[in-house]
Amino acid sequence: MANRMKLHIKKGDTVTVIAGDDKGKTGRVLKVYPEDQRALIEGVNIVTKHRKPTAQNTSGSIDKIEAPVHISNLMLTVDGTPTRVGRKRDENGKLQRVAKKSGEFVK
């Protein structure tokens, strides 16, 4: 198991893919898998999943679903521009994510 570390993206963030087949695509983070350092992005990295027939689904199916993307291939998008992420303490002393390009705190 990889050591636990803070990730630069969270569920609900808008991210841009910076490497791979889907380079340039933008989407919302649906789920983050910190142990694998991967994230599931809406509409990105679509794969074909063949499902066997079961008692409930007697005919089986071929579905297009999203597969997780490694977080090193993602960049947080703030106000439509991809930016690196840093950490800074806010006025309450709490450590917050901050956009390197604009310098503003990320919600």
Using the Cα atoms of residue 54, residue 56, residue 62 and residue 66 in order, give the sign of their dihedral.
negative
Which residues form the domain of 45?
A: 14-99
In a domain, 35, yes or no: yes
Question: In this predicted model, what pLDDT tens digit does every residue of 6-42 receive, in sequence order?
Answer: 889 999 999 999 999 999 999 999 999 999 999 999 9
pLDDT at 97: 94
In a domain, 107, yes or no: no
Beta bridge partners of 38: 33, 70
In a domain, 46, yes or no: yes
Q: What is the CATH number of the domain that holds 85?
A: 2.30.30.30
Question: pTM higher than 0.75 for the full model?
Answer: yes
Of 47, 44, 97, 104, nearest to 79 by C-alpha is 104
Q: What is the mean pLDDT of the chain?
A: 93
In a domain, 106, yes or no: no
pLDDT at 2: 54
In a domain, 89, yes or no: yes
In a domain, 75, yes or no: yes
In a domain, 20, yes or no: yes
Q: What is the dihedral of CA 107, 10, 7, 71, to 10 degrees?
A: -130
Q: How many domains in the chain?
A: 1
CA angle at residue 100 from 95 to 105, to 5 degrees? 40
pLDDT at 62: 95
pLDDT at 5: 74
